[in-house]
Amino acid sequence: MDNYIISYMTAITGLEVTVIKNSIIHRMKKIDFRKIEIKNIEGKKSTLDLSKELGNAIYQKTADLGELELARSIYKDGEIEVDAGHAAILNKYIREGFLAFVQESVCPVLDEIINPKK
């Protein structure tokens, strides 16, 4: 059993954890950008479809082919698997191009993928 990979989804956080030889090497989470939960000024929750706007924002600003494919996936599929690398990219575009109420909803989720609490 020298080389083995175990992948599982944690029920509470929705994070997928991949283990190779007892070391956590990869954390992923599915995020559906068509159903982002936001709060209005009164604290009432509603759902926002961010997929087209985020996909377009990345598509129009990137010079990187990997980011271009990420933009296409978000635009076309809406729901994607986000790892730490993609979370960092998404965090950059959301913090630079979206209003604070969107950042407040999405960035903490991305930050948790990038820097998981132990």
pLDDT mean over 17-30: 61
Rounded Cα distance, 118 and 104, in Å: 22
Mean pLDDT for the chain overall: 85
Confidence at 12, pLDDT banded by 50, 70, 90: very low
Q: Which amino acid is at 106?
A: V
pLDDT mean over 34-41: 96
Q: In this predicted structure, what is the pLDDT of residue 110?
A: 97
Confidence at 26, pLDDT banded by 50, 70, 90: low
Integer angstrom CA distances of residue 34 from 22, 44, 48, 90: 35, 18, 7, 15
The residues spanned by each domain of the chain are: 30-114
Is pLDDT at 9 greater than 70 in this prediction? no
pLDDT mean over 34-59: 97
Q: Chain-centre distance of CA 110, in angstroms?
A: 5
Q: In this predicted structure, what is the pLDDT of residue 28?
A: 87
CB 17 within 8 A of CB 27: yes
